[in-house]
Amino acid sequence: MKLANPFGNFKYAAEGVLHVYRTQKHMRFHFFMLVLVLMVSLMFKQDRGETMVVLLTISLVLIAEMFNTAIEAVVDLVVQSYHPLAKFAKDIAAGAVLMATVNALTIGFILFLGGRPKSSFTTNLGIRNPDVLTVTAVGVLLLFAIVIVQKVSGGKGTFLRGGVVSGHTALGFFFATTIIFVSPNNIARAVAVLLAVLVAQSRVDAGIHTLREVLWGGLLGTGLGMAVYLLRG
């Protein structure tokens, strides 16, 4: 008996994210705002709690947009002509996206422009920088969003395989850059870079990516890693 691929469901789910981004202009705008907001949150040196609020808020908007797209697809499949209930279902789904967006804008205004207590304000001026785990999590999410944009813009590959930029290579070099910034051990730094290079080589040897695509991935991961840790201070 052949066992089911445990990563099969994840693959299909990931392709769903890619399809929504490819076909829905609102989703592309939300991804652009995702990248912008996360970069701004790093510049504001937000602590772990504030970053979690930002991530939860962004996730709600993206999830609402995906449900809206799914509902529209099902309605169009079932209803071939105008029906008031079909319009009602689509309007409700669109309303959910609107509410999530308004909520995100409100939270963003409070976090970024609403002011903070003096102690928190001085903390965010650099007395205490956000912890490494928070910065790394934000960086990985940024990398995830940028790789999706690159794959769709290039019109090549799927979420986990192929594309104009090697996502695996980008992730490998991002973590290598992270270790270079946070570890004082030069051996650990050298091993991290070596592992990232091996990941890149494996993508070329397997015929999944060209040398140019893994080079772009390496530059993306390294550049983003440097950016987020320099913003962290």
Whole-angstrom distance, CA of residue 214 vs CA of residue 19: 23
65 assigned to active site = yes
Which contiguous run of DSSP H or E holds residue 139? Answer: helix 132-154
- The DSSP 8-state label assigned to residue 124 in this structure reads I
Maximum pairwise Cα distance, the chain: 67
Burial class (CB in 10 A: 0-12, 13-18, 19+), 25: exposed
Selecting among 15, 65, 72, 213, the annotated active-site residue is 65
Would you name the residues annotated as active-site residues? 65
